Amino acid sequence: MSLEEPTPPETEVGVTEAGGVDYDALAELLGEHVIDREEHVNAEAFVVRPDEVQDALFALRDEAGFDHCSCVTAQEYGDRYETIYHLTKYDDRTQEVGVVVPTSKEDPVSQTAEPVYRTADWHEREAYDLVGIEYEGHPDLRRILLPETWQGHPLRSDYNQEKPQVVTLREHANPLQEDHRAGEDSDTMFLNIGPHHPATHGVLHLKTTLDGEQVADVESDIGYLHRCEEQMCQQGTYRHQIMPYPDRWDYISAGILNEWAYARAAEDLADLEVPEYAQVIRTMSAELCRIASHMLAVATFALDIYGDFTALFMYGVRDREVVQNLLEDLTGQRLMFNYLRLGGVAWDLPEPREEFFEKTRDFLDELPERLEEYHDMITSNEILQMRTVNTGVLEPEVAKSYGATGPVARGSGIDYDVRRDDPYGYYDQLDWDVITEDGCDNYSRVLVRLQEVEESAKIIEQCIDLLEDWPEEEREIQSNVPRTLKPENDTEVYRSVEGAKGELGIYMRADGTDKPARFKIRSPCFSNLQTLPEMSEGEYVPDLIAALGSLDIVLGEVDR
Amino acid sequence: MLQSGNATNATNATAAGGEVTTLTETIAGLLGLSGPAGDFVGGVIGGALIITFLLTLVAVSGIWGKRKITAAFTDRVAVNRIGPFGLLIIVADAVRLLSKELIVPEGVDRPAWDIAPIIMVFSAVAGFAVIPMGNGIHLADPEAGLVYVFATASIASVGLVMAGYSSNNKYALLGGLRAVAQNLAYEIPLILTAASVVIFAGSLRMSEIVAAQAAPLISLGPVTIPAWYAFVNPFAFILFMAANLAEVGRNPFDIPEAPTEIVAGWQTEYSSVYFVLGYLAEFLHIFLGGAIIATIFLGGPAGPVLPGFLWFVAKMLAVFLFTQWMRSAIPRVRIDQLIEIGWKGMLVLSFANLILTAVIVGVIA
């Protein structure tokens, strides 16, 4: 791979000379905060007292350089509740550490991590909502996915899943009533943007306070599309029953990327091998998905800026259609691919193979011309530049604190891509680049996506070359995987892949049965959406919409 | 009498004769009426004819043509299921739109809410009274025709404010306010640019403006380019086209509606017949804009071979096509940018244009 190795600064504590994590040094750094150590499949974890969370996290962030709080997982054990902070570094994704915070069953209170990592805000709200752990000092500990009036915490063992709950949202019973949320005598106006609105890309509700046309405050209200994906995965068996679900998270044709997130985590958990041939097919199909996803992202962003069903939207959909046809040939599906299997893929390339290769090559050959068209109409369009340059600015430090990943982070100049930084699949043997732009604005994020399409095309081309020359007798699409998978009791893994929107992570804990005891999804959109107020406060409403469009969120993935 | 000759004859006749025979007088003459009674009956029948024609034009272009045009721009097919080329969609859509339930939201300020769409339609239709459409189709020809057109067209702003304010909806309110801000910013450049044409023509009377454009500008062998003001002063023409886009609210200036930002602007709470009226008013305004451009910049109904009326409609539709093209191809600017372009850019340019024109015309004349 032609990519330069990220070199961590030498002053950092807890890095071995080989570039790995020196857990003993970290333990020394944390000193008395550590009450126990755990071994997870992906990294070691330190157990910390619930009232010392911030001290431990501050030390890890400031002195050991763990600046990326990738995920916060909450779960219930027989005798305790547990919060796990999965920390890693933007500079080196392979360096990971977990911080486990157990709390008692009677009094599940734990110190909040929000002052350390802004992203913990929403993650802890979700933990409170679904598991019921309370975070002391949290600025706004309310339910996030479920309605305010919901009774009980659904991922607790004592929760009655049979009992139906009818929820009426009384808050907006009369949308016309006087609203003085911003103070009795203020000049601001409160405006509900969504959940039914042409530009919220799904059922997102933005509670916006306007000062004239300027956004004084915006708060995202999510959860309208919450479908209990985590719980459904916990009720499915590893081997076959979970794989269809990931297609339903980010359903904007990013299915195989999502499937890979589960496949990677489960394969690490159960220690499964994936044949090289299958890895190449996975890499190729995942990048096809990425192109389709980015095409739609650019198209809908243009729609948000242009304002009606314009040429650009249709061009995006037209070109995405070609990719969709390729994926249909490969997987038999256009939306819910269900193509990956643990230990490989479902089936080999479609026969006749030459035809598939030819179609794919045709697409790749035409792509540069198509992209030229996009650049003509989007990136070199002066009105669009006027609208997008220097609007929706997201500074890199802010982005990191919110755990932003994917094109959103790369548009802010953060050189972070899981495909390169924590290689999986066949990526490390192919020649491609990670795209970053330093503009930090809406324009940069679109530029990043358009250029990433080119990089994906490069990857696909190399995969096709490899697949064409692959000897027929070595085309092994699946390794030998047991019919029933029962990973050892109490093994835990957190693994992520680079989804279309960013780092898509899966945490799983096995309890010795054929189903996971806890299945947690780290959705990139969830973290990215948190940055919206930072990007849009003080801007005009149109820029709020543009910023939202440039985040490219899919509510199916935000709400899960 | 209805002039049966071709357009060149018609314009020559008006240029030579000075006084034109309006449609009102023609109808009154055919019915053998004269005086105020003749004016009244002739005016009503003539107006009804013109409005019927306009409504047909809107039905064809707004329901069918617009979709086909946008589809062609955006690589789609659009309506092609009902009737030849999908033309019967016009009937189907008319029935559908008119038979929908009229939802009156709670707390709307009636009757302002009911009157608003009617005012908008009225303001657009009334403007057509003074437009010379060729072949004697010209309802009235007052001395201050151009002023009258702009005056009636601006009444639409009142309708927009009424709709925005009375809907009791925040999106509608934002849309209404945006519409007023936009119209204020663009009507002044629009009128100032038109004034530069008046300096050339030396009259506000529509028929005289048209007649003045019949004179030859340059002769290139057998081809004579007429002195249409679009050729005489292309700068003013471009300025007027741009300001007109803002006036009719199409990209890049479709800010009052801005579907992705404020849902539908002032239209948000309107459904069924009221929605149809609003939609109708929008298209009529586009056509009125086209008619004004055709009259003051493109020589009105003048053109070779075909009857003047067809030329006039063709020019009007060309402007309509232009607005649809912009709509498909150009991003929307932000409200503050729009105001800035209007007050800091267009206004200055239109004043410069006006003064330069005045100086040039003064020196030559």
The arrangement of strands across the sheet holding A516-522 comes to: A492-498, A503-510, A516-522
- How far is it, in rounded angstroms, from Cα A397 to Cα A27? 27
What domain range includes position B290? 102-364
Nearest C-alpha of chain B: how many angstroms from A486?
A: 49
Residues pairing with A193 in the sheet: A206
Q: Over range B231-245, report the average pLDDT.
A: 87
A329 and A448 belong to one structural domain: yes
pLDDT at position B17 = 41
Is A199 strand, coil or helix?
coil
Within a domain: A543: yes
**Residue B263: pLDDT band with limits 50, 70, 90:** confident
Chain B from 98 to 117: CB within 8 A of any A CB: 106-107
pLDDT at position A474 = 82
Residue B329 at interface with chain A, using a CB cutoff of 8 Å: yes
DSSP track, A247-269: GGTSTTT-HHHHHHHHHHHHHHH
What CATH code is carried by the domain that includes residue A299? Answer: 1.10.645.10
Q: What is the pLDDT of residues B113-128, one digit of tens each?
A: 889 999 989 988 888 8
pLDDT at position A290 = 92
Within a domain: A160: no
Residue B75 at interface with chain A, using a CB cutoff of 8 Å: yes
A262 and A121 belong to one structural domain: no
Q: Which of the residue ranges A549-558, B31-40, B313-322 would you say has the lowest mean pLDDT?
A: B31-40
- The answer to whether the CB of B116 falls within 8 A of the CB of B155 is no
A94 and A236 belong to one structural domain: no
**Residue B16: pLDDT band with limits 50, 70, 90:** very low
Enter the tokens of residue A138.
């949290």
* Mean pLDDT for all residues in chain B: 82
Q: Of A136, A155, A170, which residue sits at a domain end?
A: A136
Residue of B165, B260, B327, B335 for testing the chain A interface, max A β-carbons within 10 Å: B260
- Residues with Cβ < 8 Å from B110, sequence gap 6 or more? B104, B166
A476 and A359 belong to one structural domain: yes
Q: Which residues does chain B have within 8 Å of residue A383's beta carbon, measured at their own beta carbons?
A: 252, 330-331, 333
Is A381 strand, coil or helix?
coil
Burial of A476 (0-12, 13-18, 19+ CB in 10 A): middle
- Residues with Cβ < 8 Å from A205, sequence gap 6 or more? A192, A193, A194, A195, A220, A221, A222, A224
Within a domain: A437: yes
pLDDT at position A263 = 92
A114 and A253 belong to one structural domain: no
Q: Of A108, A136, A164, which residue sits at a domain end?
A: A136
What is the percentage of chain B residues whose pLDDT exceeds 70? Answer: 94
Q: State whether A302 and B252 contact (CB < 8 Å).
A: no
Q: Which of the residue ranges A138-142, B216-220, B235-239, B276-280 would you say has the lowest mean pLDDT?
A: B216-220
pLDDT less than 50: residues of chain A: 1-2, 7-9
Half-sphere exposure of A310 (CA within 13 A, CB side): 30
Check whether B27 has a pLDDT greater than 70.
yes
Within a domain: A203: no
What domain range includes position A53? 23-136
Q: What is the pLDDT of residues A11-23, one digit of tens each?
A: 567 777 766 777 8
Within a domain: B201: yes
Check whether B38 has a pLDDT greater than 80.
no
- The answer to whether the CB of A224 falls within 8 A of the CB of A553 is no
Q: Which of the residue ranges A288-292, B14-18, B189-193 would you say has the lowest mean pLDDT?
A: B14-18
Q: What is the pTM of this model?
A: 0.83
For A198, the closest chain B residue by CA position comes to B260
Q: Report the 3 state secondary structure along chain B.
A: CCCCCCHHHHHHHHHHHCCCCCHHHHHHHHHCCCHHHHHHHHHHHHHHHHHHHHHHHHHHHHHHHHHHHHHHHCCCCCCCCCCHHHCCHHHHHHHHHHCCCCCCCCCCCCCHHHHHHHHHHHHHHHHHHHCCCCCCCCCCCCCCHHHHHHHHHHHHHHHHHHHHHHCCCHHHHHHHHHHHHHHHHHHHHHHHHHHHHHHHHCCCCHHHHHHHCCCEEEEECCEEEECCHHHHCHHHHHHHHHHHHHHHCCCCCCCCCCHHHHCCHHHCCCCHHHHHHHHHHHHHHHHHHHHHHHHHHCCCCCCCCCCHHHHHHHHHHHHHHHHHHHHHHCCCCCHHHHHHHHHHHHHHHHHHHHHHHHHHHHHHC
Short-list B266, B66, B89, B54, CA closest to B179: B266
Short-list A68, A57, A17, CA closest to A34: A57
Q: Over range B17-41, report the average pLDDT.
A: 74
Q: State whether A310 and B74 contact (CB < 8 Å).
A: yes
Within a domain: A16: no
Q: State whether A542 and B261 contact (CB < 8 Å).
A: yes
Q: What is the pLDDT of residues B4-14, one digit of tens each?
A: 333 343 343 34
Short-list B256, B241, B253, CA closest to B349: B241
A298 and A410 belong to one structural domain: yes
Q: Indicate the angle between helix axes A442-468 and A276-306, nearest 10 degrees.
A: 150
**Residue B256: pLDDT band with limits 50, 70, 90:** confident
In chain A, how many domains are there?
A: 2
A131 and A233 belong to one structural domain: no
Enter the tokens of residue B289.
């804009």
pLDDT at position A497 = 92
Q: Which residues does chain B have within 8 Å of residue A308's beta carbon, measured at their own beta carbons?
A: 251, 254, 259, 327-328
- The answer to whether the CB of B295 falls within 8 A of the CB of B209 is yes
Q: Report the 3 state secondary structure along B4-18.
A: CCCHHHHHHHHHHHC
Q: What are the φ and ψ backbone dihedral angles of A151, each rounded to 5 degrees?
A: -105, 130
What CATH code is carried by the domain that includes residue A131? Answer: 3.30.460.80
Check whether B1 has a pLDDT greater than 50.
no
A552 and A432 belong to one structural domain: yes
Within a domain: B6: no
Q: Which residues does chain B have within 8 Å of residue A387's beta carbon, measured at their own beta carbons?
A: 331-334, 337
Q: State whether B74 and A311 contact (CB < 8 Å).
A: yes
- How far is it, in rounded angstroms, from Cα A335 to Cα A325? 11
Q: Of A115, A136, A157, which residue sits at a domain end?
A: A136
In chain B, how many domains are there?
A: 1
Enter the tokens of residue A173.
């019973």
Short-list A140, A81, A85, CA closest to A107: A81
Q: Which residues does chain A have within 8 Å of residue B329's beta carbon, measured at their own beta carbons?
A: 310-311, 377
Within a domain: B342: yes
pLDDT at position A521 = 92
pLDDT at position A45 = 86
Nearest to A311 among B107, B168, B328 (CB): B328
Q: Over range B120-145, report the average pLDDT.
A: 85
